[in-house]
Amino acid sequence: MERALALAAPGVGRTGDNPSVGCVIVRNGVVVGEGATAIGGRPHAEHVALARAGDEAFGADVYVTLEPCAQRSVPGTACADLLIAARVARVVFAARDPHPHAAGAGIERIRAAGIAVETGLMEKEARAQNADFFERWDRT
């Protein structure tokens, strides 16, 4: 998760309304893909990391600084759906997405697909990294 936070750091304040997210995909102890939210907010970190990992994402562990989105992004597929399609084994994320259209939906969708989910790893650091995003949506 430390690596995912480091990947996200340069994008803080440069991803539009979206938070800057980092994602690292690890298979058999080896990083097979990683990415961060692009400048402007698209593509999301999971899209970038999965594209880099390719077939190596199958059975891998995914570390991401924010709950994967469950809404179809414009353009593209929801991050939760991409992770399911890649048949990853486990998703570990730092913080739940507080946005009212997203909160908990990614977790539910991923778990419903039979993928293990763990939450809260380095949550304090992830929330601090995107403090403006969390302050904006935690109030709603």
The answer to whether residue 135 is catalytic is: no
Amino acid at 126: A
CB 56 within 8 A of CB 39: no
Q: What is the DSSP letter of 19?
A: P
Set 46, 56, 108, 135: catalytic member? 46
**Strands, sheet with 116-119, edge to edge from the N-terminal-most edge strand:** 30-36, 22-27, 61-66, 90-95, 116-119
Active site residues: 46
